[in-house]
Amino acid sequence: MSDKSSSRSSGFDRRAFMAGAGIALVPLTARAAVQDPTQAAAQDPALPVEVTLRVNGQDKRLRIDARTTVLDALREHMGLTGSKKGCDHGQCGACTVLIGDRRVVSCLTLALAAEGQEITTIEGLATGDRLHPMQQAFIDNDAFQCGYCTPGQIMSAVACVKEGHAGSDEDIREYMSGNICRCAAYPNIVAAVKQAAPDIMKG
């Protein structure tokens, strides 16, 4: 039995989508590297655009594909590989960074949309050799095994405390549930958040 079929590997047409989205998005947030940004970006989103990202207190000017996510900008263009890609779909939390005080999944945030905002990654948490209390708490409570989800867990945990969601074990469990740990260090993560919370609240 056989039948002929013809199909695209995906029905989602990213270029068409980007062309539409780009008109609204690009001129607002980026200075494109080409002469007429609006036109060029709409025609071919692969043409590099210039964007300045402020990461861990430092400005960095990049020439990147307009579709580059914050995650890929950090990892592929800035050498900041601490933030991890676990799904690229906003489903796992491995890529969590802080934008301002908010925790965001950097795989679903376009670099262009983050221009002018303060981005904090796992690399920016410690002060010199002095670990952030959350980092120390993760060590003390063995809150990781393979460590791949850990940068995302820690960034999420810092925000979880600052949001006021670390008041009880149930709250911590609930508000840390956007970060998957396949090694399943969960109870130790809860213990770590509990340990670090008072220090962080003190400032």
Partner 1 sequence: MTVAAPEPKANMGNPAPRYDAVVKVTGRATYASDMPLASPAYAFLVTSAIAKGRVESFDLADANRVRGVIDIVTHEKGPKLKELKLYSNGGYAGTTIQPLKSAEIAHDGQIIAVVIAETYEAAREAANRVTVSYTAVVPSATFDSPGTTTAAAKGQNSQFKEDPQVGNFAKAFEDAEVKLTASYDTPTQHHNPMELFSTSCAWIGDNLVIYEPSQYVYGLKNGVAEQLGIDADKVRVVNPYVGGGFGSRGSMTPRTAIIAAIARRLNRPIKLVPTRDQGFTIATYRAETRHEIKLGASRDGKLVALRHEGAEVSSRPDAYCVGGTKTTTRLYACPNVDSLVSIVRADRNTPGFMRSPPEVPYLFALESAMDELAVKLKMDPVELRRINDTTNEPIGGKPYTSRSLMACFDEAAKAFGWSQRSPEPKSMADGDWLIGYGCAATCYPTQMGPSAARVRLQRDGRTRVEIAGHEIGTGAYTIIAQTAAERLGVPLEKVAVFVGDSELPPAPVAGGSNSTASTCSAVMMVCDQIRQRLFKAMMPNQSLTDRAKETVGIGQTPATRAAKSDRSLDLEKAFDALGAGVVEEYGEWKPEDAPLDSFQAMHSGHVRLVGGHSLKDKIAYAFGAEFVEVRVNRFTHEIRAPRLVGAFAAGRIMNPRTARSQLMGGLIWGMSSALLEATEIDERTARYVNDNFADYLVPVNADVPGVEVILLSEQDDHINPAGAKGLGELANVGTNAAVCNAIYHATGQRIRKLPVRLENIEV
Under the rule (CB under 6 A), what is the footprint of ligand FES? 85-88, 90-95, 105, 107, 144-150, 181-183, 185
In angstroms, rounded to a whole number, what is the distance separating the alpha carbons of residues 100 and 30?
Answer: 19
Taking the C-alpha atoms of residue 181 and residue 147, their distance in angstroms, rounded to an integer, is 9
Interface with partner 1 (CB under 8 A), residue from 19, 29, 82, 165: 82
What angle (nearest 5°) sits at the alpha carbon of residue 182, between those of residues 201 and 147?
A: 60
Tell me if 81 contacts partner 1 by CB under 8 A.
yes
Taken in order 93, 197, 134, 203, the sign of the CA dihedral is positive
Q: Are 118 and 177 in contact (CB under 8 A)?
A: no
107 makes contact, choosing from partner 1, ligand FES, none, with CB < 5 to 8 Å by partner type, with ligand FES
Find the DSSP H helices in 30-148.
Answer: 37-43, 70-72, 133-140
Task: Rule CB under 8 A: say whether 21 interacts with partner 1.
Answer: no
Q: What is the CA radius of gyration of the chain?
A: 20
* Residue with Cβ nearer ligand FES (41 or 144): 144
User: Which is closer to ligand FES, CB of 136 or CB of 145?
Assistant: 145
Residues 6 or more apart whose Cβ sits within 8 Å of residue 59: 52, 53
**CB-nearer residue toward ligand FES: 41 or 94:** 94
Site for partner 1 in 23-52 (CB under 8 A): 44-47
Q: How far is the CB of 49 from partner 1 (least distance, A)?
A: 12
Q: Is residue 109 a contact residue for partner 1 (CB under 8 A)?
A: no
Q: How far apart are CA 161 and CA 150, in angstroms?
A: 16
95 binds, among partner 1, ligand FES, none (CB under 5 to 8 A by kind): ligand FES
At residue 101's C-alpha, the angle toward residues 98 and 106, to 5°, is 25
Interface pattern 114-143 for partner 1 (x via CB under 8 A): -------xxx-xx----x---xx-xxxxxx
**Which one of ligand FES, partner 1, none interacts with residue 171, CB within 5 to 8 A by kind?**
none
